[in-house]
């Protein structure tokens, strides 16, 4: 999840978003940083942060739909592919984190 967040944050410069996609580039930078910070917190203090395990799922789903919500129909194919693939990865990792959170919660409630 950490690498997906870092890639999402730098994707506007790696993929080469058009200048018309500036708002989407800013969105990707912010969401990518948030995902990377969440992943780092899960790796270091999961016992305290597992309650936020739903957040990457929502951020991943937002990443998938963001090109159309922010840009409308004027969005390049590479931009869409980058956001959809990265969003799917973030969502899948988030679902895995939620599953681990349930395991932690069930162990502590015994």
How confident is the model over 54-95, as pLDDT tens digits?
Answer: 999 999 999 999 999 998 877 888 889 999 999 999 999 999
User: Could you give the CA distance from residue 40 to residue 3 in angstroms, rounded to a whole number?
Assistant: 10
The pLDDT assigned to 107 comes to 65
The pLDDT assigned to 31 comes to 97
User: Could you give the CA distance from residue 109 to residue 96 in angstroms, rounded to a whole number?
Assistant: 20
Query: Cα–Cα distances in Å, from 57 out to 22, 62, 74, 76?
Result: 24, 9, 26, 24
SS3 53: coil
The pLDDT assigned to 95 comes to 93
Query: Cα–Cα distances in Å, from 66 out to 14, 22, 24, 25, 105?
Result: 18, 13, 7, 10, 32
Q: What average pLDDT does the structure give for the chain? A: 88
What is the model's pTM?
0.87
The pLDDT assigned to 108 comes to 64
1 or 20, which is more confident: 1
The pLDDT assigned to 110 comes to 61
The pLDDT assigned to 104 comes to 60
């Amino acid at each position: 999840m950490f690498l997906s967040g870092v890639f999402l944050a730098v994707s506007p410069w790696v993929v080469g978003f058009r200048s018309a996609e500036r708002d989407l580039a800013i969105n990707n930078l912010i969401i990518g940083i948030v995902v990377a910070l969440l992943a780092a917190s899960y790796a270091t203090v999961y016992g305290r942060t597992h309650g936020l395990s739903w957040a990457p799922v929502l951020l991943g789903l937002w990443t998938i739909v963001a090109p159309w919500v922010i840009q409308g129909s004027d969005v390049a194919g590479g931009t869409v592919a980058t956001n959809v693939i990265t969003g799917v990865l973030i969502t899948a990792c988030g679902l895995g984190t939620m599953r681990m959170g349930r395991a932690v919660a069930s162990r502590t409630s015994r």
